[in-house]
Copies of this chain bind each other. A is one copy, B any other.
């Protein structure tokens, strides 16, 4: 029986260290932007490990890398994967953990001489973070047919270089046809990037859905005036409206209740000096919910608040949608498999929602998909301080192993 099978903790943790060398920022973090020299080095390392395993290697035209292990029956693979790129002040785990845990699953099966019921594959998707080239989750989005390949390749970074040129330069503009690479089902392992699992003392989560995101930039135009000589009743204070908006967002989220969240992450005042009433404010609004109707309700309440604030303070307010993604429901059968396998492994788990975007949401467009989360220490991510307990990283990889084996046995990925 394979139920006692466990991944090699030493190998997984060692490879995480080895990969973090590429883009090491010297403060415990990693800066490995998509299609950079650092990204190339990490890709080369990942490819070498896949080749050592004897995997069938494929690189598609958007630069996604796939390693495939044949199973006992033909057909689309049970796929796992994540990304190797990071944000500018990134950590060692966001993305890399999911890719290397997938590699570790294949290595564990190879070492044990086990042939899975169907093909398994591990993917490293291009440009998940979207920092150097927008939009984010680009490689998986293109693979899922949600964004034209030509458009993606022509996206430019701030220096004017296109992703297509950069993939050519680093040797990752592949030719493998995307149709042959698409999975029968997909499960992604990732750090939580939030504080919930740690706060509840749990080791893993079966991620059943992913929040919809609504990003709005609000511009408030009032009138600059002297802070000492302008009576309160005659003010048209863009800073006051900006502050009130930050407060309103908290009240909105509290009033709607979980899972609604609302954040004001950015405020810019002009002229931004102590004794001048601000003439202009830029404020960003981040609204998220797992239920589309509720997210729309939050957006409507925001707009209504802005209209009222404009009238009450005599300011002009314009808002612009910066990004909008509907919530994603993951596949109940895949979530169920993850839950069952967690129970078999004796791991304390819960179902939860992903508050961040992930490649799995793009795969969910074309196949049954779900995710596994492991705890983030203090909920920190996108930071050199991003870390997780080694025991949790190992537990997550073992859960990925058994979830993939179970999915291969089941009918979720196609005819068994």
Binding site for B on A (CB under 8 A): 192-196, 199, 211, 213, 215, 217, 223-234, 237, 239-240, 242-247, 249-250, 253-254, 258, 261-269, 272-278, 284, 286, 288, 322, 354-357, 378-383
**Contact between B274 and A215 (Cβ–Cβ < 8 Å)?**
yes
- A274/B322 contact (C-beta < 8 A), A229-B354, A240-B250, A243-B245 known: yes
Closest chain B residue to A258 by CB distance? B231
- Within the complex, the shortest CB–CB distance from A93 to chain B, in Å, comes to 14
Which residues in B have their C-beta under 8 angstroms from that of A355? 226-230
In the complex, A273 Cα to B383 Cα: how many Å?
14
Q: Given the complex, which residues of B lie within 8 Å of A357, measured CB to CB?
A: 228
Which residue in B239, B242, B265 is a CB contact (below 8 Å) of A276?
Answer: B265
Main secondary structure of the interface of A (DSSP, over half): mixed
User: Is the beta-carbon distance between A258 and B232 smaller than 8 angstroms?
Assistant: yes
Contact A382 B276 (CB under 8 A): yes
B225, B240, B322, B381: the one contacting A246 at CB < 8 Å is: B240
Number of this chain's copies in the assembly equals 2
CB–CB B247/A263 < 8 A:
no
| Across-interface contacts of A224 in B (CB, < 8 A) | 380, 383
Using Cβ atoms and an 8 Å threshold, which residues of chain B touch A195? 225, 229-231, 234
Select the residue from A193, A217, A229, A250 with max chain B CB neighbours within 10 A: A229
A226 touches B381 (CB 8 A): yes
Check A194 against B242 for contact (C-beta < 8 Å).
no
28 interchain pairs, CB-CB under 8 A: A194-B226, A194-B228, A195-B229, A196-B229, A223-B378, A225-B380, A226-B355, A227-B286, A228-B261, A228-B288, A229-B355, A229-B379, A230-B355, A234-B379, A237-B263, A239-B264, A239-B265, A240-B249, A243-B243, A243-B244, A243-B264, A243-B267, A263-B274, A263-B275, A266-B269, A267-B269, A273-B284, A274-B322
Bound complex: CA A276 to CA B265 (Å)? 6
Question: Which residues does chain B contribute within 8 Å of A244, judged by CB atoms?
Answer: 243, 246-247, 250
Q: Which B residues are in CB contact (< 8 Å) with A199? A: 234
A265 touches B272 (CB 8 A): yes
CB-based contact B269/A265 at 8 Å: yes
